[in-house]
């Protein structure tokens, strides 16, 4: 009888510890939580799905994210860009669809890449031959520190913001 009560007590304590552990783990934010930016640009519905890493006192541009190399433009899986209508990005046509969004950051100019292989991990399987569109844009210094990578859909397109950098990309309807 005493053994049965002891085992039940141990089982209850173990169950409590397991539930407490998972409850606390859910309260802690992931290092690079999944985020989605959604909006309408010139009548086209735009959605950008990305992992949102934090600066965390790291050197981002030219450090964690090297210049002049393809970057997944977020964390974890490749960032995705979806449009429900044909649009023009920086004056160049992009058909409706879902794309992987890559960038090649540079100190004075960035290349924005729309790749037809939307479902891929990071940029490890990136193939330039799958690119459907590349455009050049000019980054600018942000007026504020952006601890987390974010994408904002604006009336003129979208803006990537991270650390002290903003990268605006112009979109118009086709």
Identify which has the larger pLDDT, 173 or 88.
88
E strand or H helix at 8: helix 2-27
pLDDT digit string (tens) for 108-160? 999 999 999 998 876 678 999 999 999 999 999 999 999 999 999 999 999 99
pLDDT mean over 67-82? 96
* φ, ψ (nearest 5 deg) of residue 3: -65, -40
Name the nearest CA neighbour of 41 among 152, 168, 153. Answer: 153
Same domain, 58 and 88: yes
Domain extent at residue 24: 1-29
Q: Please give the pLDDT value at position 120.
A: 84
How many domains are there within the chain?
A: 2
Q: What is the mean pLDDT of residues 84-99?
A: 98
Residue 139: beta bridge partners? none
Structural tokens at position 113: 């890449």
Radius of gyration in angstroms for the set of CA atoms belonging to the chain, rounded to a whole number: 21
Tell me the backbone φ, ψ of residue 25, rounded to 5 degrees.
Answer: -65, -35
Q: Are 139 and 117 in contact (CB under 8 A)?
A: no
Are 106 and 22 in a shared domain? no
- Same domain membership, residue 117 and residue 58: yes
Same domain, 16 and 86: no
Strand pairing class (131-137; 110-115): antiparallel
Distance CA 150, CA 130 (A): 25
The mean pLDDT of the chain is: 88
């Amino acid at each position: 009888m005493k053994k049965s009560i002891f085992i039940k007590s141990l089982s209850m304590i173990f169950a409590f510890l397991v539930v407490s552990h998972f409850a606390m783990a859910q309260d802690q934010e992931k290092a690079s939580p999944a985020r989605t930016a959604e909006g309408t640009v010139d009548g086209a519905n735009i959605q950008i799905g990305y992992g949102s890493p934090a600066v965390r006192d790291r050197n981002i541009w030219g450090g964690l994210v090297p210049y002049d190399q393809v970057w997944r433009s977020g964390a974890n899986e490749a960032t995705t860009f979806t449009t429900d209508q044909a649009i023009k990005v920086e004056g160049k046509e992009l058909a409706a669809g879902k794309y992987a969004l890559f960038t090649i950051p540079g100190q004075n100019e960035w290349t924005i890449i729309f790749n037809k292989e939307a479902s891929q991990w990071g940029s490890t399987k990136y193939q330039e031959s799958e690119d459907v569109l590349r455009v050049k844009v000019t980054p600018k210094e942000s007026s504020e520190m952006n601890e987390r990578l974010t994408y904002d859909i604006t009336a003129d397109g979208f803006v990537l913001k991270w650390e002290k950098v903003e990268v605006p990309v112009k979109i118009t309807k086709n």
